[in-house]
Amino acid sequence: MPELPEVESVRRQLEPLLVGRRLVRVEIADPRLVRPYEPAEVAAELEGERVAAVERRGKYLVVRFESGRVLLIHLRMTGSLRVASPGEQRDDPHRRAVVTLDNGSDVTYRDVRRFGTWLLLEPREDEPYLAARVGDEPLDRLFTAARLGERLDGRRTSLKAALLDQRTIAGLGNIYVDEALWRARLNPLRAASGLDVAELRRLHRGVRAALEHGLARQGSTLRDYRLPDGSAGAMQDEFRVYGRGGEPCDRCGTPIGKTRIGGRGTWYCPACQPLPEAQTVRSSSSLPSRSRRQSSL
Ligand SMILES: [Zn+2]
């Protein structure tokens, strides 16, 4: 699933291609993309709009039009946007929408699993919509270790679950949470609240470093993620823990462990990221058994 580095990499490629362009023709082939609205109605509303800016909030692409309206695009599991010459990819069975720009090029939206969404909002509707769903931007200058501590304080879940919650920090998903926790040398099953100042600083640095690394590689392509020019990301070759169960830890050589937290595959180094027994979260039913946890220490 595209996370902050993937969505931001898409945004950076789309921005120069879209800003200043008018949407001449819009075709939405999949009703799931815009429900509960009618595809033909949304398409008609979009036609004629001129793009003023392409921004990102968390995992949302925010396409701002000169009219003040905003198209929020969420790629979810397998959505991707491609800029192509007209007619290209016409026989792609997973193509869900096509936007023709006033310079003749097509922006196509492809989605195998069909969980992605396009939501057209009227002027000023975007701010309250996003504020209710998306927390602080972790790469923002104003996002400090102290602020991270405030966001985690009082949370009664594991660190992993708290960091996956988009209202804690925007844009993190399964991959970059595992990568950030490895960098911070914190166990994913640790309680989210009660981190000391040094641990918060490590986590803050770890989150930013993991995301910056992903951005520098234009994201990770595990299956469907592609950049608008059709190229793949390269981060998947440089994961420290994600998907590397049994392989040696880059830092200490211990085999990377794997567990499940909240139904999500979770990778960590049992030696670098030890779990202090007293700080375990016990409230979740999805926690591995005590013996499993101890054997992983
Ligand atoms: Zn290690």
- The answer to whether 174 touches 102, Cβ cutoff 8 Å, is no
d(CA 5, CA 172): 9
State both tokens at 201.
Answer: 């600083």
* Per-residue pLDDT, 286: 43
CA of 253 to the centre of ligand 1 (A): 6
Geometric angle at alpha carbon 118, from 263 and 37, rounded to 5°: 110
Q: Which of 260, 276, 278 is nearest to 268 (CA)?
A: 260
DSSP annotation string for 46-70? HTT-BEEEEEEETTEEEEEETTS-E
d(CA 224, CA 115): 13
CA of 297 to the centre of ligand 1 (A): 11
* Per-residue pLDDT, 89: 65
CB under 8 Å to 246, separation ≥6 — which residues? 255, 256, 258
Phi, psi (rounded to 5 degrees) for 81: -115, 140
* Per-residue pLDDT, 224: 80
* Per-residue pLDDT, 278: 62
CA of 277 to the centre of ligand 1 (A): 19
Task: Flag residues of the chain having pLDDT under 50.
Answer: 283-297
- The answer to whether 39 touches 33, Cβ cutoff 8 Å, is yes
> Would the pTM count as exceeding 0.85?
yes
* Per-residue pLDDT, 280: 59
Q: Residue written as tokens 């192509």?
A: 84
CA of 241 to the centre of ligand 1 (A): 9
Q: Which of 240, 243, 242 is nearest to 253 (CA)?
A: 240
CA of 180 to the centre of ligand 1 (A): 13
Q: How far is CA 83 from CA 89, 93, 97, 107, 230, in A?
A: 10, 17, 12, 4, 8
CA of 139 to the centre of ligand 1 (A): 26
Q: At what angle do helices 174-184 and 197-216 cross, to 10 degrees?
A: 130
d(CA 150, CA 241): 27
CA of 189 to the centre of ligand 1 (A): 16
CA of 268 to the centre of ligand 1 (A): 8
d(CA 24, CA 28): 13
Residues classed as catalytic: 2-3, 59, 264
CA of 242 to the centre of ligand 1 (A): 13
Strand order through the sheet with 51-57: 51-57, 60-65, 70-74, 117-121
Q: Which of 295, 293, 271, 265 is nearest to 189 (CA)?
A: 293
d(CA 59, CA 287): 27
Q: Which of 126, 86, 83, 99 is nearest to 42 (CA)?
A: 99
CA of 80 to the centre of ligand 1 (A): 34
- The answer to whether 20 touches 50, Cβ cutoff 8 Å, is yes
CA of 252 to the centre of ligand 1 (A): 4
